[in-house]
Amino acid sequence: MNDPDWSLYRAFLAVLTEGSLSAAARTLGLTQPTLGRQVAELERALGLALFTRSPQGLKPTDAALELAPHAQAMAGAASAMARAASGAGDTARGVVRITASEIIGAEVLPRILAAYRPLHPGVIIELALDNQQQDMLRGAADIAVRMVRPTQEALVARRLADTYLGLYAHRRYVEAEGAPTTLEQLQDHPLVGFDRGNPFLRDLAQRLPLSRNGFAFRADSDLAQLAAVRAGFGVGFVQHGIARREPDLIPVCPGLIGFSLGIWLVMHEDLRGTLRMRTMFDHLADGLTDFLATSQP
């Protein structure tokens, strides 16, 4: 039996992600019958049933779920290959895919990337916001901005500095409700925090005088938390470097409660010789270092 074509796995992965043939077909720019034939062809080639029909759409079988991470790895490798091919030549051109946390990606990187664009107009930037660590070795991204030290081998990692977070509230909230000046008073104000959170946040909450039950606004999206603070909902953690850009964000209990996160810039070591990757890595390192200098307590 010949190995199934990559396009068949791509069709399978789209249906798995979207949950229906129609949605997957729109994603890939194919007709629904064409996509259905590709999935059926993959099932025949593998001798496996990959989906069952249900009122909620197509439900993946156990075999499909076991196959999924391998198909995702193939998708990452195909995407990385396309990005590598796009930059052939002696000028900085082609695609660079960057992954970063929600806050760094939405609040910090756009200014840095806007300064990069005039220097290298031939480079196309893809930015993926994800608080989970993308697998760099599987081609999920070319460059990553991470809050934890990378552990995978074959990665070039540069530790930049720490970003510090403190409690802030919007001026509207402070004018209406006042600003607490002690940790005891803080308990009487609506706090913005995480919902389920990740292990780091849950551990942090245990070490600080905070708990999930004490949050009046809960969201696992950092951007949603920041938006709530900006809207005047209550008091929440904001990176100093971001808050200092906005005069209407007022420090709350300064010096009494806060924490820091290390910032790492990461790239696969095989990409160091690619001009657009090297120029982007260096530009991000300089831009983030400048930002982190404003984020000290």
With cut-offs at 50, 70 and 90, classify the pLDDT of residue 91.
low
- What would the pLDDT profile of 179-215 be if each residue is shown by its tens digit? 999 988 998 999 998 887 665 566 665 556 666 677 8
Detail the DSSP E strand segments found in the chain. 51-54, 57-60, 94-100, 123-129, 143-146, 155-170, 191-193, 215-218, 236-239, 249-252, 258-268
Which homologous superfamily is 92-156+270-291 in? Periplasmic binding protein-like II (3.40.190.10)
- Which CATH number does the domain 162-261 belong to among 3.40.190.10, 3.40.50.300, 2.160.20.10, 3.40.630.30? 3.40.190.10
Average pLDDT over residues 54-65: 80
Query: By the 8 A CB rule, do 90 and 275 touch?
Result: yes
For the stretch 223-251, pLDDT in tens is 999 999 999 999 999 999 999 999 999 99
Fold that domain 6-84 belongs to in CATH: Arc Repressor Mutant, subunit A (1.10.10)
Residues 6+ apart with CB under 8 A from 176: 232
92-156+270-291 and 162-261 in the same fold? yes
Average pLDDT score, the chain: 84
Is it the case that residue 134 has pLDDT exceeding 70?
no
- pLDDT category at 1 given cuts 50, 70, 90 is very low
What is the domain partition of the chain in residue ranges? 6-84, 92-156+270-291, 162-261
